[in-house]
Amino acid sequence: VNVGKGSHPDMVKVFGPGVERSGLKANEPTHFTVDCSGAGDGDVSVGIKWDSSTLGDKEADVDFDIIPNANDTVTVKYVPPAAGRLTVKVLFTDKEVPYSPFIVKVDPSHDASKVKAEGPGLARKGVESGKPTHFTVLTKGAGKAPLDVSFSSPVKDFDIIDNYDYSQTVKYTPAQQGEMTIFVTFGGDPVSRSPFTVGVAAPLDLNKVAVDGLDGRVEVNNKQQFEVNTKGAGGQGHLEVEILSPSQRAVRCKAEPRPGNANVSLIHYTPTEEGVYAVNV
């Protein structure tokens, strides 16, 4: 008569966060314990598979490690690769243990809707071709996930810098004028307001800016005007004019587009003292 411990799969206990119905997050390590101390002789085998609708494969296996312990228990470690549902099977001597298979729900490790992207590189007023620019991506409270940025038009000097304060700085230099779309994703999901549409202006050429109407003399206390033509000058179209009186006082002036010609701005001002005025455009 051969007398031994025998094999009792029904005495195996499985517990730990890795087999709980909920509470797991994608890409975050987890584990569970298989206790065979009262199950007799036998080998433990484990299988972890994703629901076919999650990753698109019929049987998507998940890698895991089995670590034997000194007290007739083993620890199983694995990392859920994505959000969704997985099935954990635990067998002892090729027979399923109680409560196996375990159905586990995995939540996303991130929330892209909580990510904000802002800065001059995303400004509606646009950017300038050949001029370096940047924007900041704020991820505080959004969890952990890789940040990805792509452009519909050519760019140079593209870089993503981790600031280690739940923010990352994206640097780039637009290389082609026209309308450009910027896609910002967090963990593969679009962040708030992405994609961004940004106009890329031609490089600024100040030699093509023409000022007309400042020749000759004008009368004190009479309204005056001159014009600035920026056609073909490129840049982002922000015109600034400063007028200083002979006593170095700022003279109030107003710029407005000429009706029917957006490339020409009319500058209105009224001189209040005699002498030579300085006009900075």
* Cα gap 34→42, rounded to integer Å: 13
Residue 2 lies in a domain: no
pTM: 0.62
Point out the domain boundary residue: 149, 173, 201: 201
| CATH (domain of 260) | 2.60.40.10
Residue 1 lies in a domain: no
How many Cα atoms within 13 Å fall on the side-chain side of residue 34?
30
SS3 195: coil
Distance between start and end Cα atoms, the chain: 108
Q: Which two tokens stand for residue 35?
A: 């206790």
Complete DSSP assignment for 79-113: ---SSEEEEEEEEETTEEPTTPSEEEEEE-SB-GG
Residues 190 and 152 in one domain: yes
Determine how β-strand 196-201 pairs with β-strand 127-128: parallel
Burial letters 227-263, b for 16+ CB under 10 A, else e? bbbbeebbbebeeebebebeeeeebebeeeeeeeeee
32, β-bridge pairs: 76
pLDDT string in tens for the chain (281-residue length): 333 367 899 999 999 999 999 999 988 999 999 999 999 989 999 999 987 554 455 568 999 999 999 899 999 999 998 888 999 999 999 999 999 999 999 998 899 999 999 999 999 888 999 999 999 999 999 998 899 999 999 999 999 999 999 999 999 999 999 999 999 999 889 999 999 999 998 888 788 888 888 888 889 999 999 898 888 877 776 788 898 989 999 999 898 989 988 888 898 989 999 989 888 98
Structural domains of the chain, count: 3
Full domain range(s) for residue 234: 206-280
Point out the domain boundary residue: 82, 107, 132: 107
Those residues whose C-beta lies under 8 Å from the C-beta of residue 70, and which sit 6 or more positions away, are none
Q: Which two tokens stand for residue 26?
A: 């994608």
